[in-house]
Every structure is written in C-alpha cells, then in structure tokens.
Structure 1
Amino acid sequence: MFDSEINIASWICLIALCVSSVIAILARFIPIIRTARTANAQKGEAELVEFHEGEEVPKASVIVYCFINEDSLMEYLDVLMNQDYPNYEVILINEGSYDVSFSLAERLQQKYPERLYVTFIPPESHNVSRRKLALTIGLKAAKGEIVVTTASNCIITSPHWLSLMMQPFIGSDRTDVVLGYAHINFANLRGPSKWYKEFDATLTACQWLGAAINHYPYRGDGFNLAYRRHLFFEQKGYSKTLHLMNGDDDLFIHDIATRTNTDVMIAPDAILTYDYGEAANRIMSDLKERYQFTAQMLPRLPFLRAGLGSAMQITATVCGIAAAVLALPNILPLIVACSLLAILNTCEILLYRKAARALGSVCLWWALPLFLLWHPIGNLIFKYRYRNQRKKNFTFT
C-alpha cells in the first residue's frame, strides 16, 4: 500500500502535474498578481491628492450618459458636482424625450449654472448605438482637454474620484489614456450562481487590467474611463464601428491606447459601482455577451494566455487523478498528487483573494478551484446559449 516504488506512468503524470501547475500560475495568475499589487500601491493615492490655489491643471469634461429618474439623478449630481478636482465641467446626455430633457435641463442648469451642460439624444435616432451617439454628442460639446466617460447609474463613493482619474494626466504629456474600473452592484445579484458571476467578472477584469499594467492595453470600462479629447477626433470617432452597437470601450480603446500612453487607476476611491437594481443578473449576462462578441476583433494574445491557464488547470487535476489511479494499490502517488494540488490551490486562493478584495468582489476560499475548473466549460455553454443573440450586436437588422 505504501510501496516506495512508483511506476513510470505515475511518475510522468506527477511531473506533468508540476509543470502544468507552474504554467497555470504563470498564464492565469500573473495578471491577477499585477492587478492586486497596483491596487495596493495606489491605496493611499486619495490622501495625496492636493491642489494649490492658482495651480494650473488640465480641464476635465465628465460625459454622463443619463437614463435614471430625476430624484436619483439629483442625488447623483450632488456627489458629482462636489468633486474636489478644481477644473471640470459636466455634460449630461439625457435618454428622455425632448420635452422631458428640456424641462430637466432648465432646472439643473439653474441649480448648477457654472459647469453643467445638459442635452439629449434625438428621439428619432434609429439604427444607431444610443450610447455611442450620446458620447459623440458629449465629446463635441466638451471644452476640456480630457474627457471622462461614465453613466448616471454609477455610484461615486468619494469626492476624490475625479482627481484620482485625472492624476496621471497632471504634469505628464505622455499619458493619453487612463483606464479606471467599475463593477456591477454585486449585492443585487440573485440565485445560486451569484458567487460564480462575481468570480467571472473579477477574473475578466484582472485579465484586461493586468495586461494594461504590463503595457499591453486592449480594452477599458466605459463606466470609468478617461482619455484626451483630440484622440477621439483623430480616430474619426466611432467610424470604424458604426455597424456595431458596442465597441466604445474596447475596440475604440484598442485603437488609441499604446504601450507607452496608457495608465491604470484602481485606487479604492477611484472604483465605481453601477447599479441596475433587480435587473443585475440580466445586465451582467448582456455585458458578458457583448464583450465576448467584440473580443473576436481584439488581439488574441490575452485570451490565448487565459485559455492556456484554464487548460493547464484542468491538466494538473487530470494528471493528479491519473497518477493516483495508475499506481493502485500503491497510495503514495495519491498522497503526493493531493499534496501538490493542495499547494497549487492554496497559492491560487491567496493570490485571487488579494485581487478580489482590492476590486470589491467576494473573497473566495475552496470554491475557487472548482470555479477555475468550470470557467472554460461555463464560457462554452454561455456562448452556445447566446449564439442566436449575436444579431443584437449590430446597428442594422
């Protein structure tokens, strides 16, 4: 039973387990480690934000895509209009009818006469991405050198949010793009898959944030994103993706972001939460389907790397089981395989928890190894279930 002799097949499986475990950590968890380190390094940034009287800072134009009721909007603007950044304007693009928008604009501009501009999306606009149209209207109205895009259902928890998003631009001509982070209000998720959805969102965020931190930016988050205004017009706006409903924060960002002009801001006070209430589960699925569709037009390297990490995770588990089975009735390989897998899973749990805590997600324990094994399978099932909804991603029918 405890024979010290282990057959060659079991040895090969144990060696393969070790190799695949190392590759799984390097492929899947290096971006997670980078994200956690950057978030922890930026944790004290808000305390360092300070502006002196007369100090010249670039003007920011905050473009808000608005589609919430008036009471909620007033609460939102109370926070947004009291950010501590000294030089900014707010451009509110309302998704209502002309009469409602005009009436709302009058009341809001009376309350905030100095730096609020309110306009609306023409109701007759059809066969066009409403979000892209709103952003285009906002960018044309903007007077600031830097534009910051967000939405009215985003919860801003700190008066330092805008200052943090603008900080990389101050005193630097090198920075053209700043990628912030926003996540859905996880408290509104329902059902047995709630924790898995949080894990999926966090894993995906670490993938693109980690890539950007490693000077390989390929997407951002339109709920919390900043870039120099002239880049939009140099790219002729969203002309390359007019046929698509989406792409404003991944395909467009891929076009303007480079290895040297992009920074990441994920300090706690810079992270936003977007709230869709009881529709959170549906919205999260819609966002996942949207990004999976546009991912086909992005560089393959980050996705291949993530796929390699998932494949090695499964390979390590399979090799561990094979090593134990092939050596029976000798249980020594079983003990060795279980020990190696326990080390792998413990490392993954500790690394993931640091990133999840920094990004405001659930900190998983022993559910994480199961979620990692299920993730590639779950993605395939998701693609199959939503295969008939691909046409929704186009502006024409």
Structure 2
Amino acid sequence: MNIPQPNTLEIIALSLMGFVWIWQFVFLLRRIRPVALYQTEAPISESLPPVSVVISARNEAKNLEKFLPSVLEQDYPEFQVVVVNDGSEDETDMVLARFKAKYDNLYYTTIAPDKKFYHGKKLPLSLGIKAAKHEHMVMTDADCQPSSEEWLRHMVSSLIQQDKELTLGIGNYKKEKGLNNLWLRYDTFTIAMQYLGFALSGKPYMATGRNMAYTKTLFNRTKGFKKHIYIASGDDDLFVQEAATKSNTAVCLNSKAHTLSVPPRSFKKWKEQKQRHLSTSAHYSTGTKSPLIMEPLTRELFWTLTVIFIFFPNFATIVLPFSLLLLLFKLLLWKKAADKTGMGKIFWGLFLFDIIQPIILGFIHFENLTGSKKRKWK
C-alpha cells in the first residue's frame, strides 16, 4: 500500500495524535489500571475499635429524618454518631432531639444562626471531630445513606487492617430513571476511579466528604483545616492533599461500603454543586493539577483528531486502528473497575459522555475563574 508523503500540517496532526495516544494510554495504565485490577479486600476485621461518625447538617431536617436511622443502626460493636446542627432554620434541631430520645449512640450540638458571620462546612466539622469520643472517625453527609448495615465495618476494617490513618471511600448517587441521573452517576464514577487510582498508585489527592475515614491523631497532626479554613470547600480534597501519603492511605471499594446520596434534581443544581467542588482545584499542587488538566485535554484532542483523520483516507487506515485499540482498552478497564466497585453497567456511559465530559467541566472551570460569585456550602 502506497501512502503519500504527508505535508507539514499532516505531520503536525500525526505527531500530535501520537503524543495524545501515548499520554492517554499511559494514564489509563498507571492511574486507572490499579482500580481495575485491585485485589479483593480482606475480610472484615474480627477486632474492631470503637468509632465516631461525624455529620455536619444545615437545614437537613427531611434528610436526617429519612437517612440518619440507617447510620445509627449500623451493625457495628461500639460507635457513636456526632451531628453538628450548623445554624439550621428548619426543624433539624427537633428531629435530632427526637432521635436522641430513641438512640443512645447519638450526640448532637447546635451552632446558633449568625447572619453577620458566614462560615463554611469546616467549622461544624471541626466541632464534631472535637466532640468525637473515639480515635477512629468516619465522615459522611446528612443526605447520605449507607449502602448496607456493614458500611462502618468495611470502612474501619480498611483503615486498621493495613495500619493506615486515612481511608478513601466511594460516595455514589442513587440510581433513578432519566439521562440526567445517568450523567450524574457516570461523572461520579469516573471521578472516583480517578482519585482511587491515584491513591493506589501512590499519589492520593482527594476524597469525597460523603464517605471517608481518618484518625483523630492525623487530623490533629495536620492541624485540621487551619491552612485552608478561609476556603469554603476543601474539607475533603484539600485535607487529603495535606494529610495523605502513599504509605498512610487506604481505599475501600466494597459495594457494601458505599454511601448513596440524593441526586440533584436538575443539571443546573448539579452544576452549582460542581462549581463549589471544583473551586478548590486552584489550590492543588502543580504535580497534582498537571495530570488532572492534561487528562481531559488529551482526551478531547484524541476524539477530535480521530474524527478529523476519518476524512484523510490515506492516513485513516493507520490512525483509526490505534484509536479503536485505545477505546477498547479504556472500556475494558472501566468495566473491570465498575465490577470491582459494584457500580454496575455505568461504564457504558463512556459512549455517551466521554467526549462531552471534558467540555462541560472545562466550562465550569472557566466560570469559576472568571466569575466573582462566592461559592458557599449550603
């Protein structure tokens, strides 16, 4: 087969495609493969230490009424649940008082509303951690429900069996009908695979505050959220960046250890949530930010160049087989990762969202950089 000599523009396009293909392949191999090939977690420890669950709640009366019993009734030898009512203006305090009369393992305290002084989630969390009686602690949110009665057993076992100080769990959205819900769960899945894969490959950089565990000693040694207390978000990812190392961090992938959250009811609500979460990424280290920027950028270039080369039949026979190979490799890793984490067939969302996800996240990042609206925890 005679292939004509490429001109300068074609050489640039082919070279760029080669770089993009290699970068994406190495990223998948290095950062996602550890999740896909993760060995089955050890059985639940027979000797479990007492643990404190810490929850910060603001205007969460309905969610607490619905989900708090599933936390309070965990199958665990000895644990307390600490809820900090952060200036709620609904019936949160009344709900907690009713539960306190029923559950001996519930402790709660209230921060009085103060319209003159705004504070983020870190203040109530710090107060909850200070009130926690036990060394080992698990963090979650008021709108979260453990996926099973063994949630605490799995999270704490992953923390103590390898003598770790920090465990990264998975916070998923409840499965519902509709394209919006599929998008929410796919985005959550890909982000989880990324931060879990980074942790398993020795570079932990974030967690989800909906499901993480750490020791009081680690929190105190890191001086809590002191270095970034002025930032509304970051009680999970910025704390992990300060406290986590490749030797003190574990992951918990078991499907019984997930937390399930009420999904935002619209794309707009999800976007507002995402803006708050992404606002902390500007404070990441350069070593963390670089691959997190390069991944979506090279992914979008990969798809763009693949489409472009379809219209260059002389080179399509060279480029397209490599594109197909990369796609199949990614799909295989995504499937295995979904199986390991019990997240079902969500990996098929790759065909719907893999191209548009970088664009959507890019626009949100751009709005965060150019907008002046303060992102507050609600």
Q: Same fold (TM over 0.5)?
A: yes
Shift of the 272–207 alpha-carbon distance from structure 1 to 2, 3 Å rule, reads same
What corresponds to 2:346 in structure 1?
363
Counterpart for residue 296 of structure 1: 282
Of stretches 228-237 and 96-105 in structure 1, the one that deviates more from structure 2 is: 96-105
Contact 1:345 1:369 in 2 (8 A): no
What does residue 186 of structure 2 align with? 199
From 63, 81, 88, give the equivalent of 2:79: 88
Q: What SS does structure 2 have at the residue aligned with 1:119? A: strand
Taking the aligned partners of 2:35 and 2:372, their CA distance within structure 1 comes to 31
1:107 aligns with 2:98: yes
Letter in 2 for 1:176: E
1:176 CA drift (Å): 0.8
After superposition, give the CA deviation of every residue in 1:27-60 in whole Å (9 maximum; x if it has no partner). 246322222333x623xx5xx3263xxx5x3221
Q: Which residue of 2 aligns with 1:287?
A: 273
CA separation of 1:267 and 1:139: change in aligned 2, threshold 3 A: same
SS at match of 2:81: strand
In structure 1, how many angstroms separate the alpha carbons of the residues matched to 2:93 and 2:357?
Answer: 47
Structure number with greater CO (CA < 8 Å, separation at least 6) is 1
Residue 294 of structure 1 aligns with an amino acid whose one-letter code is: T
Shift of 1:355: 2.7
Displacement of 1:292 in angstroms is 2.1
Cross-structure match for 2:6:
9
Q: Following the alignment from structure 1 to structure 2, what is the Cα–Cα distance between the partners of residues 103 and 378?
A: 40
Which residue of 318, 326, 330 maps to 1:348? 330
Which residue is 2:143 aligned to? 153
The percentage of aligned residue pairs carrying the same residue is 25
Question: Partners of 1:97 and 1:204 in 2: how far apart?
Answer: 31
TM-score (norm 2): 0.84
For 1:33, the equivalent position in structure 2 comes to 33
| DSSP-derived class of the 1:292 partner | helix
Gap change, CA 1:219 and 1:126, over 3 Å in 2: farther
Q: 1:369 and 1:340, CA in 2 relative to 1: closer, same or farther beyond 3 A?
A: farther
SS state of the match for residue 37, structure 2? helix
> How many Å separate the matches in 2 of 1:222 and 1:339?
41
State the SS of the aligned residue for 1:392.
coil
Work out whether residues 276 and 283 of structure 1, in 8 Å CA contact, stay in contact via their aligned partners in 2. Answer: no
Contact 1:28 1:309 in 2 (8 A): no
* 1:350 partner letter: L
CA distance in structure 1 between the partners assigned to 2:309 and 2:93 by the alignment: 71
Q: Separation in 2 of the partners of 1:19 and 1:59?
A: 51
C-alpha distance in structure 1 between counterparts of 2:144 and 2:376, whole Å:
26
Q: 1:219 to 1:314 in 2, by over 3 A?
A: closer
Structure 2 Cα separation of the partners of residues 97 and 288 of structure 1? 23
Which residue identity lines up with residue 291 of structure 2 in the other structure? R
What TM-score, normalized by structure 1, do the two folds share? 0.81
> Distance in 2 between the 1:391 and 1:75 partners?
32
In the TM superposition, 1:354-393 aligns within 5 A as: 354-357=336-339, 358=341, 360=343, 363-365=346-348, 368=350, 371-387=353-369, 389-393=371-375
Q: 1:131 aligns with which of 121, 130, 133?
A: 121
Q: Do the aligned residues in 2 keep the contact of 1:243 with 1:394 (CA within 8 Å)? A: no
Task: Tell whether 2:44 aligns with 1:49.
Answer: yes
Partner SS state of residue 107, structure 2: strand
Structure 1 residue 99 displacement after superposition: 10
* SS in structure 2 of the partner of residue 393 of structure 1: coil
- Partner Cα distance (2:186, 2:259) in 1: 17
Q: Check if 1:22 corresponds to 2:22.
A: yes
Q: Which residue, out of 294, 299, 317, partners 1:308?
A: 294
Name 2:255's counterpart in structure 1.
Answer: 268
> Could you say what secondary structure the match of 1:246 adopts?
coil
State whether residues 179 and 264 of structure 1, in contact with CA within 8 Å, keep that contact through their aligned partners in structure 2.
Answer: yes
What corresponds to 1:187 in structure 2? 176
- Asked whether the equivalents of residues 245 and 394 of structure 1 are also in contact (C-alpha less than 8 Å), the reply is yes
Distance 2:317 2:60 in 1: 60
1:240 aligned residue: 227
Please list every run of 5 or more consecutive structure 2 residues that lacks an aligned counterpart in the other structure: none
Q: Secondary structure at the match of 2:147?
A: coil
Alignment partner of 1:218 is 2:205? yes
1:323/1:151 CA distance change after superposition, 3 Å: closer
Gaps of 5+ in 1: none
Identify if the C-alpha distance between structure 1 residues 86 and 181 changes in structure 2 by more than 3 Å, giving closer, same or farther: same
Secondary structure at the residue paired with 1:344? Answer: helix
Which residue identity does 1:73 align to in structure 2? L
User: Which structure's CA Rg is the greater one?
Assistant: 1
In the alignment, what sits opposite 2:218? 231
Equivalent pairs, count: 373
Other structure's SS at 1:296 match: helix
User: Does the 8 A contact of 1:310 with 1:372 survive in 2?
Assistant: no
1:111 offset after TM fit, Å?
0.7
Residue 157 (structure 1) shift: 2.0
